[in-house]
Every structure is written in C-alpha cells, then in structure tokens.
Amino acid sequence: MFAYKGELAMPKKKTALTIEERLQQALVPAEEQHYEVPENWVWVRLLSTFVNKTDSKKKIQQKFYLKTGDYAIVDQGQNLIGGYTNDASLQYDGELPVVVFGDHTRCVKYVDFKFVQGADGVKILLPFKSFDSKFFYYAIMNLNIPNMGYRRHFPLFDKLTLPLPPLSEQQRIVERIEELFAKLDEAKERLQEVADSFAVRKAAILHKAFTGELTKQWRRENGVSDASWEEKKLHEVAFVQTGVMKGKHYNGETKLLPYLRVANVQDGYLKLDEIKEIAIDVNLIERYSLRKGDVLFTEGGDYDKLGRGTVWNNEIPGCLHQNHVFAVRPNTSILFDCFLAYQSNSRYGKKYFLSCSKQTTNLASINSTQLKNFPVLLPSLPEQHEIVRLIDDLLARERSAQQAAEQALASIDLMKKSILARAFRGELGTNKASEASALELLKQVLAED
C-alpha cells in the first residue's frame, strides 16, 4: 500500500514551467520512494496523474435525492448509486470514465456512465488520457490515506505518491487484477449464500422436528406410535410468570438487582453484554426471580421479537426479569425446557404467536393469556430429549458451516488487498522489462496537460 511522505509544493501556474521542470515536479526522488519497483517504472506524485473535475455548482444535496429518476446520483456511500434526480442541468458533462473519490469515507468508485455528483464530499477525478483509467482507479484503491479528520482526505493528495508502469503494463495489470477479483467474487457469492442461508436451514430443521419427521426412525426403533403426540395448552404443562414493572415505588426495604429486558432475549440465545439493575422490594425478590430451566418469552415489539423462546441457565445469579419478558417454568416431568424453546422458535410457534398478537404498523405483541394458551405439541419426554439432541447436533453443523463461510469471506477482502499491493510492486508476473520506460509516458502526459 502507498504511504505519503513530505510536502509537495506544486506551482500555482504550471504553464510557467518547462516540460523538464514539470517532470522534475512530478517525479519522486529516490529517498522518498517507499519500495523498489521494476526498472522501467517510475514513482510519481499523485497530483500529476489526474485533473480534478469536481464542480460545486453541479452537486445535489442528499435531501433532494429521488428513489427513481432520469439521472443516477453517485455519492460516497457503499452503493455506487445513492439516488436519482430529474434535474438535467446537474448532469456531469465531462469526459468519461472518471474516478469518484469520497472525501469523508475514502471510498473509491469507477464511473463510466453519465451521472450527477452527490454533495457529500464527492470528488471527481479524471485520469490523464495517456493513463489507463482502470489502472488509476485501482491505484487510488491501493493508497494508504491517513485519517486526518472530517473532510481532510482529499487535501492530503498533494502528499501521496504512486508507482507508474508503462501503459501496456498498466493494461496487463488491470486484466490480471480483474481476472483474480472475478474468481474471488464468484467464491464470495457462494460463501455469502452459505452464511445467509443459516436462518433458512434452521427453520427447515425445526419444521422437521415439530412435524415428527426428525424422529420418525427413532419412534420405529423404540416402538412408539406416530400418533403418540398430544397437544396441551402451555398453562397445563408449565407455570407462566410475569415480570417486574419499571418505575414502581415500594414503601418497604428494597434491593438493587440485575434484570432482563427484551433486548437481552434474542431468538434462541441471550445477549448479556449490557445488563441493567432495578430496585425491588425484598419481599418480592422470590416472586420475580429467574430459575435455571425457565424459558424466556418476549411480549413483542418488532415482529422478529415476538415470542422468542430462550432457556435461562442461571447465567446471572439473582437475576429478575422485566414485565415485557415472561418466564415459563415447565413441569419437568412432562415438558423439557429446551424442547419448548425450540418449538416456540419453529414455524409452528411463530405462526401461533403472530396469529393471536395485537398488531400495529411493524409492531406486534402478545399478553400472558395468549402465551398461556399456546398449544404445545407434546411427544413423550424421551422423544423430546431425542428431538433436542438431534436439533442441537444439526444446528451445530450448520453454525460451523456458517462460521467457516464468514471467516472465508473476511479472508477474501484481505486477499484483494494483497493482490493490489502485489500489483503495484510489479509482482503479478505481467511486467516486460524490454518495454520503454514509463518516464517517456509521463513526459507525454505532461505535454498533453
């Protein structure tokens, strides 16, 4: 990656200098070069490679972006197109392609279509004609631009340098980079599918579990009838405990204790990085305390927060729970806590809670009565344990695949950075030493400027 070194005092009036003088300004002295490059390459100042075509009068502010329109707006967000406009007067009318640089976020974009520039720190850089525009784009991507504060990235360009190969080598480098990137992108797409499909595969496993398909072979081997499953209301097989209300005042002695909120209870797991405390009457501690084996259900909020069965394993001793979190205490002679938690997170459980919930725009909630009436599918206790064992095993495999995919995805981004670093050191095996030095190319560029 390229670093910056020293100050560059570029003359305000380039036309006052001869080609040789301008060449001297553009070239980087040996003592400022960051690493060795092939002999027919040269190190140049970044500002000697492009023309700044940014036009403050043609920018459009984000509040005026349209979802659809005649002209695409290029900004510095993650996506190439940030919005649209119908204002033809704002359209960029310079030469294409250009490189768009985000002065706030240091994003770099290659643009080869007509567009409107966004107002938020967008800089439009037009590479000199004698340079390969894609090479210039990748060179900017490879720059190590220090973080000097808000809106300070583009002014640092006068301190940045880059290695410049002959034009034909630039083109070969671009071809090789894009060939390697295409293979990595193909792999990334497949890995992303694996990472993103975990929820789908989990739902399929749970569906099989609670339609009896997952333990069909087990029932045959153990002489259990397929019709052995029962259906009972939750309150018939478990005790439903409501939680403590925030802001309540007590006359007697109180104690400050940790308590669970909706944010702590996720879909199948607990998020305990932030635990708050609440004052509770000492005589009510037992009433609102959680016990090992309680299954936690959330009252609601966003649709994805509705229900959420999660087993409490006494992760925080003496912990209470808020009134928006229900604690369901199964009758352990009839109902296995993990079995109930998985069932509530299955398609079957989610369908029930959504069907009986009170719904507003993007929000849904259930009360304790609706929770108590949840129709629990109830096989024998040994089959419940077998179902949980199988689910645990299958989900562990799926999580392992998901984690491996996510790790590989992270490595792909690092591999791309490595490819760029090698490309601009001349290490991709594309350089031809017999070609004329890039010095002649630079002279040509300065003559055209």
Tell me the pLDDT tens digit for each residue of 341-378: 999 999 999 999 988 888 776 778 889 999 999 999 99
Instruction: Let me know whether 29 and 165 are in one domain.
Output: yes
- For residue range 163-216, list pLDDT tens digits in order: 999 999 999 999 999 999 999 999 999 999 999 899 899 999 999 999 999 999
Instruction: Let me know whether 18 and 164 are in one domain.
Output: yes
Handedness of CA 89, 95, 97, 102 (dihedral sign): negative
Residue 11 banded pLDDT, cuts 50, 70, 90? very low
Rounded to whole angstroms, the Cα distance separating 445 from 427 reads 25
Show the tokens assigned to 429.
Answer: 């095996």
pTM (predicted TM-score): 0.69
CB 326 within 8 A of CB 240: yes
Residues 6+ apart with CB under 8 A from 336: 330, 381, 384, 385, 388
Q: Please report, for the domain that includes residue 147, its CATH number.
A: 3.90.220.20
Query: Is residue 418 in a domain?
Result: no
Instruction: Let me know whether 20 and 163 are in one domain.
Output: yes
**SS3 breakdown of the chain: % helix, strand, coil, rounded to 5?**
40, 25, 35
Q: Where in the sequence is the domain holding 237, given as residue range(s)?
A: 230-378
Instruction: Let me know whether 116 and 240 are in one domain.
Output: no
Average pLDDT, the chain: 90
- Compute and round to an integer the Cα radius of gyration of the chain: 32
- Picking from 352, 378, 404, the residue at the C-terminal end of a domain is 378
Q: pLDDT over 90 for what percent of the chain?
A: 71
Number of domains in the chain: 2
Instruction: Let me know whether 34 and 107 are in one domain.
Output: yes
